[in-house]
Chains A and B, each alone.
Chain A
Amino acid sequence: MRPGFADPVLDAQAAFRAVMEAMARPGRVLRLAAPPAPPPPLAPAAAAALLALADAETPLWTDAPEEARGWIAFHSGAPLLAAPGEAEFLLATAAMPPLGLLRAGSDEAPQEGATLILQVEALRPGAGWRLSGPGIAEEHRLAVCGLPADFPAQWAANAARFPRGVDLVLAAGDALAAFPRTLRIEEGG
């Protein structure tokens, strides 16, 4: 088994700060200074976000294989679920689970919506989608490689049920970006 954060306190705080910054500035790509070295196929940024957020009180779902599941269970202590529908945090290393099936919270308790940490192939700022919404002054551009073709439609459906919905953290290598549920995505241009 591999170790988690080299410095469990400071590195976890730095990862938490990075996720918070990414959520506050949707679409901005942040690089983590000292992510852990998780077993494959986990991306360092995805593992760092998970270890910073998940603990024994957050049911977790992941599609990762056995060795990675063991690593997550040991270092985060989060209970692993078989079905994605009940999880508070999800880590998808391959296919994205349909956003409509995940926990979206209720109008009274929208904070109970799930957070999906999704590993993608690459995050390229400056091209691709036009992002707008709270946290973006005018417009931000980001190209994401490795999302399903119907992602913009799924995301529009997710945004339409505000304040309920799912928040997304995209991880590629040691970089991450966040799509909070308030983000609007326009294609092309």
Chain B
Amino acid sequence: MSSQVSSAAATSLWEGGRSPYATNSKKFGMWLFIISDSLTFSALLFAYTYSRVSNPNWPTPFHFSPSIIFSTVMTFCLLSSSLTMVMAVHSMNHGNRKAAGAWILATMGGGAAFVVLHLNEWLNLINNEHVTPFENPWGVPLFGGTFFALTGLHMTHVVIGLIYLAIVCQAVLRGKFKAEDVEVSGLYWHFVDLVWMFIFPLVYLMSARIH
């Protein structure tokens, strides 16, 4: 009887040395961060939605040209940078560090283009539509507050992602870091892309002024 119990304990999942998710701890840690960050962005998106629903005179300042065209190109940049990031992980899994480095650089190019276009779009909104985080011509200050908080936090994530990728890229090219490290940085980058997939339609497209 006692020998049966001890053999059951020896094969127990709680014995240690097992990985219930069959994944490494860095990747699992990044997943946990992504889930908690999703809740932060969800809360901000809900704050934006709440403000919008409770203010019937919510402004629609995004003209098709340039705002919607710019934000569509920004979406294209981010989606394409996600594809290049996947290719970087793919190359690294096949042991091709040079190609992985080049793909990460391409990813950074897409991210940098996104930031430049987004800043341009912000300046257009500030200078031409006179929207600031605290006031705007339509008398709905919550519009600027929620808009800049949401897109600003997202842009901060993109900038941090660029720094993160730069560190990973130089390490990969110098023969340091493993494939899993590139994959973990890829998870972060795809998450930034994923958040934009909600901000772009809910903030820009829902407030488009076509005519």
* A and B interact physically: no
